[in-house]
Each structure stands twice: as structure tokens, then as C-alpha cells.
Structure 1
Amino acid sequence: MRADPTRLWRLLDLVAKEDRQLAGVTGRLFAGLEGDVAPPWLTSALSTPEGIDRLESFVGKFSRMQDTLMDKLLPAFLLSVGERTGTALDNLHLAQKLGFVSDPDAWLAMRLLRNRLVHEYVDDLAELAAALQRARELTRELSATHAAIRRYADQHLGPPLIRPS
């Protein structure tokens, strides 16, 4: 069964936009930070309204891109290449087999991290700093996965006759 190619291209364009926005806020939030996120840096970042806004924006954009990629783009892509989709874990294992995801367990951990950052108020600065550092590192995995899927789609699937705007 093949998916609607227009949906795939819309999702690819959406994730490209999310990727640019996540890269932008990552650069703004962590500008000047050398090394890992640590409690003293986090205290400083949270001492201004701008720092708080950047942190909230980073968490929101990280979460949104992770959700869109894992819950929408990956299943649409798998259908477009003629694969059957299943649970999120099944899709991740299939994407790993096809060479688009490096480690399904890391993606599940990413989902848990996303849930933690979005749905829980973390009071412990050391714990929040560690979670932000991990999310910061995982932005590269999100971007690389999107780029790999996009490259494959560009080379093998071809855009629909009328490209969504």
C-alpha cells in the first residue's frame, strides 16, 4: 500500500521548517555556552525573561519536531516506500533496518525525555540541566534523521506533480 505522496511532501516541508526553528532557538539559547549545560549556566539563563522564553521555546520546538517526525513523518515515509506501519516501536525498528534511525531505544528515551520536559515541572536544577543537555544533543539526531529521509525522498520518490506550498 502506498501513501498519498502529497502528504509525505507536506510533512517533509513541515519538518524542515521545524528543523530550522529548532536550530535557531538552540543557537540562541545555548549561545556562548562552552561545554555541557550545568546548573550555574541554567540559573543565569533563567534569571531573565528572555532566557525563560528561550528555554520554553527550545523545549516546545524540540518536542514538536520529535512528535512530528516520530508520529507523522516516519509512518508516512514508510508507507511511501511500500512498508507496513505498526506501533511507534515497530516503525522505529523498521526505520533502523532501512538505515534512517540509528537506535530505536534512543528514540523511545527521547520520547520519555520530551514528556518529562513538557509535562513535568523539574525543580532540581542539576536534573533539569542534564535533561536539557540530552535534548541539546538529540537535536542533531532529529535533524540527521529528517535529512536522511528527505535525501531519500528527493532521490527515489520524486515530488508530487503539484508541490504543496
Structure 2
Amino acid sequence: MPTFDEQQRLAFLIRVIKKERTQLEITQQRLFSEAVTAKRLQDLERDPAFSEQLDAFASRFARLQDNVGDKLLPATLLALGEPKGPVLDNLNKAERFGWLDSAENWLLARQLRNKMVHEYIEDLTILADALNTASQFSPMLHQFAEQLIQALSQRNLLPASKEVS
């Protein structure tokens, strides 16, 4: 059973992740309301709103992935009495427990960060591909977070629901 402080940390992480999921969804819907292509990205410098949407999507995608994979997953494993280990070991455990469909896909999604953040300066095709792939991986982030929250909730390892909402 997690300590009171661990339960509070879990509740905090869940509240943050729920907000991040909502914000990522909103940004994703706006950014992908029309196809994201290299041609569309050519206007990036002349369209500050589009540039801000792109930055917001990349940032929110990365932040949600960090909070779910690097914070909530290890905290969930500890709450369940499982030893936490290196990221890959934790992801493999999550896959075995049925919380994550594919640790390999999670790592592929993780690699998109550099492509979305650094390489767009040089190659708009790489950026467009990375953004579109990240958009396809977004449901995986949402589902993984939900699976972890359910695992904790089903085992009554969270404080009262008003602290998690």
C-alpha cells in the first residue's frame, strides 16, 4: 500500500496528466484540421498562429509522454509493490500487464521528439512526417495513461476521488 505522500503524488500526477491529455487533444484537433504537409509547413515563418500550434503540439505530446512514461508508470509500479527499473524494463512490464500495447511503439513515439523539435529547421518533409506520426501515436499516450489510472483505481491505491479529479 502506498504511503500517504505516495498517494498524494499519484493523485497530483493523474490530475496533471488529465489536463495534459485534454490540452493535447485540443491542440491536435486544431493543428490537424487540415493536412500537415511539407508544403503547408513552408508558411511556418509567415504564420505565427500555425507556428505556435505546431510548437504547442510538440511540447504537449512530449510532456504527456514524459509524465506518463517517466513519472506515472514508475510511481504505479511502486504503488503495486513492483520494483521500478530502467525505462525499457518498466515499459516491458507495462506491456506484460496489458497497460501498453507495445513498448517498441512507445520508444518509436519517444524518438519523434527530436524530429519535431530539432530537424524541422532543415527538412520540412521530416517535420511533416514526424507530426503526422505523433498524431497517430497520441491515442497510445491517452490509452496508456488511462490503463495506469484504472490499475491504481481498481486496487484502491488512490486517495479519495475528489483529490484525483
Q: TM-score range by the shorter chain?
A: 0.7 to 0.9
CA distance, structure 1, for counterparts of residue 142 and residue 43 of structure 2: 28
Q: Does the aligned pair in 1 maintain the 2:65–2:141 contact within 8 Å? A: yes
| Matching residue of 1:42 | 41
CA shift, 1:157, in A, is: 2.2
CA shift, 1:109, in A, is: 1.6
| Matching residue of 1:153 | 152
| Matching residue of 1:141 | 140
CA distance, structure 2, for counterparts of residue 108 and residue 67 of structure 1: 12
> How much identity, in percent, do the aligned residues show?
36
CA distance, structure 1, for counterparts of residue 29 and residue 2 of structure 2: 38
CA distance, structure 2, for counterparts of residue 87 and residue 2 of structure 1: 21
CA distance, structure 2, for counterparts of residue 163 and residue 22 of structure 1: 22
Whichever residue aligns with residue 76 of structure 1, its letter is: A
| Matching residue of 1:69 | 68
Please say if 1:27 is aligned against 2:42.
no
Instruction: Find the residue that maps to 1:132 and give its secondary structure.
Output: helix
Kindly tell me: are residues 10 and 56 of structure 1, through their superposed partners in 2, closer, same or farther at Cα, counting changes over 3 Å? same
Q: Does the aligned pair in 2 maintain the 1:22–1:62 contact within 8 Å? A: yes
| Matching residue of 2:58 | 59
1:5 to 4, 7, 15: 7
Kindly tell me: are residues 108 and 117 of structure 1, through their superposed partners in 2, closer, same or farther at Cα, counting changes over 3 Å? same
CA shift, 1:92, in A, is: 0.1
Q: Does the aligned pair in 1 maintain the 2:10–2:158 contact within 8 Å? A: no
Kindly tell me: are residues 84 and 152 of structure 1, through their superposed partners in 2, closer, same or farther at Cα, counting changes over 3 Å? same
Range 88-97 or range 140-149, more displaced: 140-149
- Could you tell me which runs of 5 or more consecutive residues in structure 2 were left unpaired when the two chains were aligned: none
| Matching residue of 2:17 | 15
Note the aligned Cα RMSD (angstroms).
Answer: 2.1
Whichever residue aligns with residue 89 of structure 2, its letter is: D
Whichever residue aligns with residue 156 of structure 1, its letter is: R
Q: Does the aligned pair in 2 maintain the 1:113–1:135 contact within 8 Å? A: yes
Whichever residue aligns with residue 23 of structure 1, its letter is: E
Q: Does the aligned pair in 2 maintain the 1:63–1:118 contact within 8 Å? A: no
CA shift, 1:32, in A, is: 3.7
1:27-67, CA deviations, whole angstroms, 9 ceiling, x for partnerless residues? Answer: 1111144xxx3222333566411001100111111111111
**Number of aligned positions between the proteins:** 162
Instruction: Find the residue that maps to 2:122 and give its secondary structure.
Output: coil
- Could you tell me which runs of 5 or more consecutive residues in structure 1 were left unpaired when the two chains were aligned: none
